[in-house]
Amino acid sequence: MKQAFILDFGGVITRTLFETHDISEAALGLARGSLTWRGPFDPDSDPLWRDMQAGLISERDYWLMRTREVGRQVGENWDRMETLVTRARGADPAASIRPEAVASIEAAKAAGCRLGIISNELDLFYGRELRQRVDVLRHFDCIIDATYTGILKPDPRAYALCVDQMGVPTADCVFVDDQQRNIDGALRAGMRAVHFDIAQPAQSYRRALALLGVPAPLTL
């Protein structure tokens, strides 16, 4: 029986912007220490993140506000979230891809698993050209992106779209996301799921591969 390994993109496959402030500051010409928001790494110092976690604002709201804030810091007017990512990541967006993600995706593919992504803002946030610049994305059989569908996780329709395209029973899907609300949505949809800890990516990927019965690569 085929199984499916289904991942969120931002935070799970790629390192978060919270983890790469030094790279962002260098790419944007900002002084070191200019970017102080740390999201899940320091919620006490990030009231916007706390508002997002409490459901007072959406994840898109959070990043749009950060986009505008950083734009002001560089003396520009930014109103598109992808501007923050494309400018902050510099010339090599592939450098932000987690090596643990690449190793795990390749292990699952080698074991015969189908591969999928369910993202709320892949192209909206990262720009469509990213798909051609990040090799690991070419492994995926299905990418469901709310940039185009307008259906945001944890809406059950987002998971159903992916399951339908993958052709794998819902119970044979393992879903990985760094937002608990999206994990809850996957569980309600009938998937197995792993809440991804961005502070412990290797451990999170080992847990997900174990659910698939796929041996973890030695690099994890």
Shared domain check, 81 and 180: no
Shared domain check, 193 and 102: yes
CATH of the domain at 194: 3.40.50.1000
CA distances from 154 to 10, 79, 118, 170, 197 (A): 15, 25, 10, 15, 18
Average pLDDT by stretches of 10, the chain with 220 residues = 94 95 93 96 95 92 96 96 87 87 97 97 88 92 96 97 96 97 98 97 98 94
- Does residue 153 lie within any of the structural domains? yes
Q: Which of 60, 92, 124 is the last residue of a domain?
A: 92
Q: Which of 66, 92, 118 is the last residue of a domain?
A: 92
Shared domain check, 185 and 134: yes
Shared domain check, 128 and 44: no
Shared domain check, 157 and 57: no
pLDDT of res. 70: 98
Shared domain check, 198 and 115: yes
Which residues, other chains included, contact 180 with Cβ-Cβ below 8 Å and sequence gap of 6+? Answer: 195
pLDDT of res. 81: 87
pLDDT of res. 77: 97
Shared domain check, 152 and 105: yes
Closest-CA residue to 3 (of 186, 163, 216): 163
Residue 154 preceded by cis peptide, ω within 30: yes
Q: Domain span at residue 176?
A: 4-15+94-212
Residues in the chain: 220
Using alpha carbons only, what angle is made at residue 101 by residues 96 and 102, rounded to the nearest 5 degrees?
A: 90
Q: Which of 58, 92, 126 is the last residue of a domain?
A: 92
pLDDT of res. 5: 98
- Does residue 147 lie within any of the structural domains? yes
The number of domains in the chain is 2
- Does residue 220 lie within any of the structural domains? no
pLDDT of res. 143: 97
Shared domain check, 206 and 98: yes
- Does residue 218 lie within any of the structural domains? no
pLDDT of res. 214: 97
- Does residue 219 lie within any of the structural domains? no
3-class secondary-structure state, position 186: helix
Q: How many CB atoms lie within 10 A of CB 74?
A: 12
3-class secondary-structure state, position 175: strand
Shared domain check, 167 and 142: yes
Bridge partners of residue 177, in order along the sequence:
195
pLDDT of res. 154: 96
